[in-house]
Every structure is written in structure tokens, then in C-alpha cells.
Structure 1
Amino acid sequence: VPYGKLPMLLIGNGERKLVSSKPICRYLAAKFGLVCEDPFDDAKCDEYMDSLRDFCDQFRPLFCNKDEDYRASVLTRLETSVIPRYVGKFDAIIAKNNGTNIVGNKLTWADAYLAHCLWHFSTVLKIDFIQNYPAVTNLVNHVFSIPAIKDWMEVRPKTGW
């Protein structure tokens, strides 16, 4: 495994390897038409997804520490500061754009990635924070109503991730 970490995408017979979430997402997005036609819009997708990574990193202490008091303090900070700051910003961006997509007028990898991450943390932590943000709710519902995604969500293995 290059760099000693996952995720890793094996392409072809495995002779081509791509490591790390963002390059894998960008590759698959280009392959399946989920990138923007305008290079600036593509860069905005990268910008928003880097901010999403910063948001996701704030949750790491919940999964790396067993001390319940510490976890409770982290959860309080997430609910009162981190979630409103980041998800509120994403909500405003989506609302200003078109109310359904974070960039442009068609589904992009950024929409799918954002919907998955927000749904995941909301589900794992059992905090329905998505409902407090109407444009985010609209984006998440839109992504998860796509027939192929909806079908997969119904049959996929149930895991903590």
C-alpha cells in the first residue's frame, strides 16, 4: 500500500493505484461525469470539499477517545459551534446557488460527498442536525433520492462507517 494508508483504488488489474479520498473522488467524478465544465466551478468544488474535510476532522476525537466526559465536551462543542459554523455556511452556499447543488446546476462529486458526510455523522452520532438547514436538507434528499443511490442504501451492508 503506497504511503501505508487507505483508502486505495485499484484500477485495471491492480497495476494502477490511486491513494487518498480526494484523488479517488476526483478520478471517479471525471470518469462518471460528475465534474463541472467550468474549471473555476471545479476549483470551487475542491474548495468546499477541503472545508468539508476540516469539518469532518472536528469529529475525530469522538472516535479516538473513550473518556465519556471528554467525548461529551467534544459533542457539546460540535453541536454549539462546529456544526452551526460549517453546516450553516454550506447551507448558505447551496441556497445562494440554486437550493439543490453546492456548485452549478447539475450533480457533482461535491454534492454526493457532502451529502454522504453529513448523513454519516448525523446517523452515527444520532443527531439530526441536517433538518435545521433547509438547503442542506434539500441537497441530501436530492442525492439520496437518485435511484442508484437509493437502491444501494437499501441493500448495502450496515456498518459503523
Structure 2
Amino acid sequence: MAPPARQRLLSSTIDLLCRHGVHGTGIADVLRESGVARQSIYQHFPAGKDELVAAATHSAGEHVRRVAQHGHVEALIDWWERSLVEHDYALGCPIAAAALAGPRSPASTAAAREVFATWREDLAAALRLDGVTDAELLASVFVSAFEGAIMQARLEHSTAPLRDVATAMRRLMATE
């Protein structure tokens, strides 16, 4: 049985955001990729593309949270390494794509801001439990470094930037 139309729309949008960004992803692309009828988009996302992208951003953000539960940044980095290699470095982060959408997509950029804030809060909470004193600072640095590492990995066709972030985070946490 196929997933419900809303889930197919979200999954297809996430995939397209990873490959083409917000402005490179159109409603026609989402419809083609998802196999969903046009009226379904407006039934589930009455405000159109920006609402769809915002919902996809939140959905992708929740997926990443599940992967990195309890501050396990290694699991997140391992997942991204596998994903990049599996897709020949063609995928970027859908949250970064939403963040870069700009003023033409206010719901998308707001969703990205919320997702990044949630990631930082979750990681900081996990780091505090581990006794890290500068937990908020390290969480912020990790999210920034992690997003930059994904971009570099795509450009270099190498997972080394992600490994570098993991190594740097271990060292920073060891100095706490």
C-alpha cells in the first residue's frame, strides 16, 4: 500500500530540496516525483509551495533529530556519510536549502530557523548531561560546522569534512 498523499508530497519535496534547493524545486517537480494529483497539494498545503517546503523542512528536521537522538553526533555523521556516498554526493541538507530560500519563501526560512534552533537545543541538553559547561556554544558550533561539512563533502566528493567535524567535536568536548 502506498503512503498517504501528504507523506508522498513531503518525501518528494525533501528529496528535491536536497538535490535542487527551494528555488530549483517546482510544484510540477513535486507532483511528478510524488505521483500525487495537483489538487492534493492545495488540499494538504493550502498556502502552496512555501507551506509545503516549510512542512518538508520540519519533517526532515525531525528525521535528523531521530538519527541523532540524545546527542549522538557520530550517528548523524555516519548517516550523512552513507547518504552522500550512496547518492554520489548529489544530496545537500534540506534544512540548509530552506534556510537559503530567502525572503521570497518566509515560511521556509522560518521553518529552517526553528529546526536549527531545535537541533542546537537538543544537542546542548545532551552535552549538559555529559557535564559539558559550554554546551550551548559547542552545540551551535557543531550545527554550523556540520552544515558546512556537508557542503564541502559534496564539492570534494569526500566524506573527510564530516569526519573532521566529528574529530574536532570529540577534541572540543574532551577539553571541557
TM range (shorter): 0.3 to 0.5
> Could you say which structure has the higher strand fraction?
1
TM-score by length of 2: 0.34
TM-score by length of 1: 0.36
